[in-house]
Copies of this chain bind each other. A is one copy, B any other.
Amino acid sequence: MGIYTEQLHRHLQAIECALPTYLPTTDGRAGVTAEAMHYACEGGGKRLRPVLVLEWMRLCGGDPQDALAFACALEMIHSYSLVHDDLPCMDNSPMRRGKPSAHAAYGETMALLAGDGLLNRAFEVCLDPANTAALKPENVLKAAHTLAVAAGYEGMIGGQTIDLANEGKRIDVDTLRELHRKKTGALLIAACQLGAQLADTDADTVNTAVEYGAHLGLAFQIVDDILDATATAEQLGKPVGADEQNEKTTYVSLFGLDGAIEMAKEETAAATTALDAFGDRAADLRTLTAELLTRIS
Contact = CB atoms under 8 A, between A and B. Distances in A.
Contacts of A109: 89-90, 164
How many copies, total? 2
A296 to B, nearest CB: 28
Contacts of A30: 153, 157-159, 161-162, 165, 182
A116 B84 contact: yes
Interface stretch (A32-40, A41-49, A213-221, A280-288): A32-40
Contacts of A90: 109, 112
Contacts of A144: 123, 127, 144
B162 A34 contact: no
Contacts of A108: 89
A93 interface: no
Contact of A124 (B127, B142, B152): B152
A153 B34 contact: yes
A165 B29 contact: yes
Interface stretch (A8-16, A52-60, A94-102, A133-141): A133-141
A89 B112 contact: yes
A105 interface: no
A105 to B, nearest CB: 15
Contact of A120 (B141, B151, B159, B179): B151
Nearest to A182: B30
A201 interface: no
Contacts of A141: 127, 129, 137, 140-141
A145 B122 CA distance: 11
Contacts of A161: 29-30, 32-33, 110, 113
A24 B154 contact: yes
Interface of A: 24, 28-30, 32-34, 37, 84, 87-90, 108-110, 112-113, 115-117, 119-121, 123-124, 127-129, 137-138, 140-142, 144-145, 148-149, 151-154, 157-162, 164-165, 175, 178-179, 182
27 contacts: A28-B158, A29-B175, A30-B153, A30-B158, A30-B165, A33-B161, A37-B153, A84-B116, A87-B112, A88-B89, A90-B109, A112-B112, A113-B157, A113-B164, A115-B116, A116-B116, A117-B153, A120-B148, A120-B152, A120-B153, A120-B157, A124-B149, A127-B144, A129-B145, A137-B137, A137-B141, A141-B141
